[in-house]
A and B are shown apart, each in its own frame.
Chain A
Amino acid sequence: QQQVKQSPQSLIVQKGGISIINCAYENTAFDYFPWYQQFPGKGPALLIAIRPDVSEKKEGRFTISFNKSAKQFSLHIMDSQPGDSATYFCAASGATGRRALTFGSGTRLQVQP
């Protein structure tokens, strides 16, 4: 049973636009929510992460919004650039003391010039 649901599966955005990717989780014991960026042929790279004690975290053009009551979190990429074209994965950890990550299904982002 998938514990982290991610949408959309794919996303096309124009250069300069805002990319939004959403995730929802089921297990309320999760307490750490990272986002990873993966380019073809590369391992996932940590982009930004949040804990449930804050509702938003911003690093440069990347922002995580977190809604604890709805058990949802999202990634916003402002001023999207062609170089942002990659696959993005949300993840969660912390359930029952586990530190291994449970990943969403991934979103393939394409930013058109």
Chain B
Amino acid sequence: SAVISQKPSRDICQRGTSLTIQCQVDSQVTMMFWYRQQPGQSLTLIATANQGSEATYESGFVIDKFPISRPNLTFSTLTVSNMSPEDSSIYLCSVDQPSGSPDTQYFGPGTRLTVL
């Protein structure tokens, strides 16, 4: 399976600031996904990021609030902009398995964000 790392692992931020989360994969993957997991809750898809194209956002998530970059097949960033306490969550990136079943997704360790 792909090895996925995220930076930072956790952060505490002030209201109104922005944080960029990095996701690095040890192999080339076509599709990367960003999910949000609010405290004690399930995972909700924020957007799908394909290399060389604009990210596709889910209902309730907009590019101005969560801009995403996907400069190559091993890296992506998610920015949480103009943060409020409601943005306190774990943010997870996931990737399709580069070989084998294309539907198999593996997750990074997550970035735990606290907004004061």
Residues of A near any B CB (own CB < 8 A): 32, 34, 36, 41-46, 49, 89, 93-94, 99-106
Q: Let me know if B102 and A44 touch, CB within 8 A.
A: no
Q: CA A100 – CA B110 in complex, angstroms?
A: 17
Interface status of B83 (Cβ within 8 A of chain A): no
Q: How large is the interface on B (under 10, 10 to 19, 20 to 34, 35 or more residues)?
A: 20 to 34
B interface, by DSSP: helix, strand, loop or mixed? Answer: strand
Of all chain B residues, the one with the shortest Cβ separation from A45 is B107
> Which of B31, B45, B103 is within 8 Å of A94, CB to CB?
B103
Q: What is the minimal beta-carbon distance from A73 to any residue of chain B, in angstroms?
A: 15
Contact B42 A99 (CB under 8 A): no
If A43-B110, A44-B92, A89-B42 are given as contacts, then 5 extra A-B residue pairs at C-beta distance below 8 Å, sorted by A number, are A34-B103, A43-B92, A49-B104, A99-B103, A101-B33
B97 closest partner in A (C-beta): A46
User: How far is it, in angstroms, between the C-alpha of A32 and the C-alpha of B1 when the chains are bound?
Assistant: 18
Q: How many residue pairs bridge A and B at CB < 8 Å?
A: 54
Q: Are A46 and B104 in contact (CB under 8 A)?
A: yes
A–B complex contacts, Cβ < 8 Å, 30 sampled: A32-B103, A34-B105, A36-B107, A41-B112, A43-B4, A43-B107, A43-B109, A43-B110, A44-B107, A46-B1, A46-B104, A46-B105, A49-B104, A89-B43, A93-B103, A99-B31, A99-B48, A99-B96, A99-B103, A100-B33, A100-B45, A101-B33, A101-B94, A102-B45, A103-B42, A103-B44, A104-B42, A105-B41, A106-B41, A106-B42
Residues on the A chain within 8 Å of B42, using CB: 89, 103-106
Q: Which residues of B contact A100 (CB under 8 A)?
A: 33, 45, 48
